[in-house]
Amino acid sequence: MGKSFKETLQNRRTYYTISNKSLVSDKEIEDIIKFAVTHVPSAFNSQSTRVVLLLGENHKKLWQITKDTLQKIVPPDAFPATEAKIDGAFAAGYGTVLYFEDQSVVKGLQEAFAAYSDNFPIWSDQTAGMHQLTIWTLLEEAGFGASLQHYNPLIDEAVAKEWNLPSTWKLVAEMPFGVPTQGPGDKEFKPLDERVKIFK
């Protein structure tokens, strides 16, 4: 019997030690992405989130782009540690999910509903977050470990050029994933009475 949603969400953690192995087919990974993009809600049903799945050489290319970009701005004596982190924790995985928000959708809603103009970028961020959590949890259910990275906007231009993506797609996060080779680190929880208020 499979895990419940609560169990899967509880087990979803950040993994920095992952391999380039998969316990499911590429088709099943694609289905996870398509399911989430179809069913995750968005304000005004805007459906502003865009997702790119990179597997195989495309996955490796992303992290090479990241290293090439960082090498230009990271001090030479610090770059070996940066390179080791990328190679060991991200590029070592099976694939990467890229999350974007289509700014043409956001701007279109701002123009159509001027009274809510300031809110649409906020709501766009919220739907992006919901997609990230949903896909992360579904990848966990499939046996993967993942982490959420933010090398944007440093790599935005190179990523858009490499995969010929629309200029209106704004990169918001990168999620490398693979089969975990070690458990996640310990996680501390702040007291719930400081975080939740209940009134009856």
Mean pLDDT of 11-25: 96
The pLDDT score that the predictor gives to residue 59 is 98
Q: In percent, how much of the chain has pLDDT > 70?
A: 100
- Residues contacting residue 127 through CB under 8 Å, at least 6 positions apart: 40, 41, 42, 43, 46, 48, 49, 101
The answer to whether residue 124 sits within a structural domain is yes
Place 1 in a pLDDT band, splitting at 50, 70 and 90.
Answer: low
pLDDT band at 185 (very low <50, low <70, confident <90, very high): confident
Is residue 191 domain-resident?
A: no
Instruction: Please name every residue paired with 53 in a beta bridge, in sequence order, or none if there are none.
Output: 97
Which position has the token pair 């459906």?
Answer: 47
pLDDT, mean over the chain = 96
Residue 56 covered by a domain: yes
Say if 67 falls within a structural domain: yes
Residue 46, in any domain of the structure? yes
Residue 11 lies in a domain: no
For residue 195, tell me if it sits in a domain.
no
Where is pLDDT greater, at 5 or 173?
Answer: 173
Q: What is the CATH number of the domain that holds 41?
A: 3.40.109.10
* Widest CA span in the chain: 59
Domain range for 58 is: 17-182
How much of the chain exceeds pLDDT 90, in percent? 95
Looking at the structure of the chain, the number of domains it has is 1
> Closest Cα partner for 94 from 27, 18, 173?
18
